[in-house]
Amino acid sequence: MQIEVTEVLWFEQHELSLPELAELSGLPMTLAEELLDCGAIAPLELRRARADLRFGSAALRAARAARRLRSDFELDLQALVLALGLLERVADLEAQLRELRARQPQPIL
């Protein structure tokens, strides 16, 4: 599936409800709720009532990763939470590495 630039911009500018997040990610609603309860999927603001929670593109990426992990490896809830945490940590480390490489002086050819 090819993602168009307009789709990416739309997701960055809009907020999703939990049912919309579940639908767009392909997760069953019950699993999306469980991932929310475990902290694997984070809302934009924690202080809202559960029915009013809104989610951004980071939550959608996590939900889609959870769906793929669940379907590819048949992971249960605890394994999904662990795998999503590790994937997030890897992404953070890769971002730090890119930043450090950008600061490094480039050799003159």
**What pLDDT, in 10s, does the model give residues 8-42?**
555 566 899 999 999 999 999 999 999 999 999 99
User: Does residue 108 have a pLDDT over 90?
Assistant: no
Beta bridge partners of 16: 55
76 residue type, one letter: D
Q: How many C-beta atoms surround the C-beta of residue 109 within 10 A? A: 3
Residue 64 inside a domain? The answer is: yes
- 10 Å CB burial of residue 95 (0-12, 13-18, 19+) is exposed
Give the domain CATH number at 24. 1.10.1660.10
Residue 46 inside a domain? The answer is: yes
- Cα separation, 16 vs 59, whole angstroms: 9
Residue 109 inside a domain? The answer is: no
Number of domains in the chain: 1
Of the two residues 46 and 41, the one the predictor is more confident about is 41
What is the chain's mean pLDDT, rounded? 87
For the residues 62-75, what does the mean pLDDT come to?
Answer: 95
18-25 helix and 29-38 helix, angle to the nearest 10 degrees:
110
Considering Cα of 84, then 99, then 45, then 60, what sign does the dihedral take? Answer: negative
Of the two residues 96 and 107, the one the predictor is more confident about is 96
